[in-house]
Structure 1
Amino acid sequence: MLYLDNAATTAVRPEVLEAMVPFLTRTFGNPSSHHTVGEEAASALADARVRVARVIGMRPGDIVFTSGGTEANNLAVKGISIAAALNRGARHVVTSPIEHESILASVDYLRRVHGFDVTALPVDGTGTVSPVALAAALRDDTALMALGYANNEIGTVQDAPALAAVARERRIPFHLDAVQAAGWLPLAGTDADSLAVAGHKVGAPKGTGMLAVRSRIPLEPLLHGGGQERGRRSGTEDVAGAVGLATALELAEAERVEDAAAVGAICTRFIQRVLALVPTARSTGDPLHRLPGTAGFTFEGTSGEAVLLELERRGVVSSSGSACAAGSDEPSHVLVALGIAPEVAQTAVRFTLPHGLRTSLDDVADAVAASVAAVAGM
């Protein structure tokens, strides 16, 4: 079985599992407990915070460990926006129509429950947000702009530093959803005020993640209780998960440049062969500014779900887009925002390669052959 759905989740790396085991067994204490067992756990948690901060390019005190990317995005979008409303009466949020559901649903919550105005930035046919359009959308009462670094369905990469510069000039907080970007793109140097990561996209377990948020940015907590994470996210911390996340991010960052080049070359070859051999195939996303391991297509005249089933029957596992929207009969909101007709958007298939050289040219040849056969059989 050739697994090409790594944007949904990756396998846990052996090094990560090995690093976590001690904190699931002998060093099992509550890091808030004031005794030797708890202090050992607290020391490991503090070390993990330092290691994550080093990869992110922020300070250890900026790191908030979460249960994953969805919680991190919710905490950033709701927490920063509500704090801005309380502190300065700001009730306007800027985002784009192609964001992950965790951002779009959080923004909609602010609109419905707290009366925020929402501006959805236009995107072009590749899913790119223009800094000029962003600048025009910002207002004096803008509480937050929240955008994705790289899109989870089409792989398009935004110019994060250019977008951050617009926000900085207007002194408006900028949240960057880096869940799909981690391991492929540099996380340090984006100049974002907050940044979300999910561990299971880079070889850590599901249920691990973090939000990095600069200390100058007011943040209203969503979870209340014992005041852990400097009062920003109450609840006993998952020490083993934090250690696993730190280990995974360090490994991914150490391998990132070489990894992206090698996987990108293989993925580009895959895209070229599918476009050449499947007459109805159309590539989605930006052909140049995209994640190295993402290959998205529409196959007009087919059923995307039927193609997926046929691909799996032929030994290739892929997806139709975001795993968080699996089971929905609606066409992808991302593809529709790109101007793709809803009936064509429903034919979409996404292939996402793993980090490292775990996919070969032979594997790509097999995936191409399976794609050609699957579409031909519709």
Structure 2
Amino acid sequence: MAIKLITAQPGSYKTAMMMELANKMSSEGRPIYLCNVRGLKPEIPFPYQVLDHFKDWVDTPETSVIFIDEVQEFTRDVPTNCKTEDLPTWMTLLEKHRHEGKDIFIVTQHPMFIHTHVRRLTSEHIHLVRNGNVPFAAKRSWGFVESDPDDFQKATFKNGCTTTIYRPNKEVFNWYESTVLDTHKFKVPPKLIKGVAMVAGIIGFAVWIGYPVATKYLHMSDKEVTAKVHDEPVLPSDPSNMTLAERAKYDAAMAGLTPEQYADLMHPETRNAELQAKNDVRMETIAIKYNPNRPYEVDTSQIQYEVTAKPVFSGCMKMKGKYVAYTQQGTILHDVSQSDCRKLMEDGDRPFNYFQVQNNRPAQVNNAMPQVQMQPNYSSYQANNYVQPNLQRSSVNGANSQSSFSF
């Protein structure tokens, strides 16, 4: 049981919505009262009664549903700054309409047209927006009276607004005098025509620019397939009567290869020799330019070497006030931290070398005595003097030999 407000600009189906709601609630067995609806016709399918003034709602029975069209005509005579005790009795009794189970629907063009006392008692606000004489309207709903319902920024879910589409039943326009069918025939909005034309122009320009490119890439595969079909050799019906060249071409086609690829597979040494001739990387064929005065300017970009050593941390030295680490070959290790060098130089904490090759073979000891040839040195036993031959002793054979005497 509540007071509900329906607002819309003229010709936006606000009265049509009111009559549809009256027909729906009449089917629920509730008494319907219509007030200030112009030109009611006998085609109305539900029972109803007419009120001459908004103030007559107080005389309706319980559970009644009262519809007041153009409600501003009944509230504009009441001053806006009127005190509550000076308000008409029928307006103050709206505060207790729930006690009798009544629903009141008031219809106007703008919420600010009605009295502030009525607005404060309203619990639901429906605003219809119809643009370009289209056969439907946007239905915006709030749980309170929105003072500016035409503001698009306020018609958001964040601001408590729910938006749907309202399409009136065409039979409703036969129940009362409506100018909608006479003066609001549907016309395509000029802005819509311009928008559609602009979108069509953009699409046409995009197609005109992109069609050649798309055709090129989309039909490229078809051309490749066609070229492949034309390039495929015609296989003879009897392979036994082919020459060696024809046989090789036939075998290549059966394997899905070109004749060149098939020849490389059958004779890889020929292909390897060609590659070796183009890029000979043998050590005896490599020639480099080396200048001993510029040892760092050796061009080794075309040379491949077998690695025989790897850089290993060897120690640190102090250079220009900073520690510098070096490898076993004396090359500098640029990424060794100062703290690691300080640990070695100042604390004597040398890291273990996991890459040093250990010599586990025992040393061979030769226990054989050297052979020295001892040759006698007779010269050391000979006298240093010389004896004349006539002074040498002569040997005598037998006693008293007279061979040396003469008479």
What is the TM-score with the length of structure 2 in the denominator?
A: 0.26
What is the TM-score with the length of structure 1 in the denominator?
A: 0.27
Give the number of the structure whose alpha-carbon radius of gyration is greater. 2
Q: Which structure is higher in RCO with an 8 Å CA cutoff and minimum separation 6?
A: 1
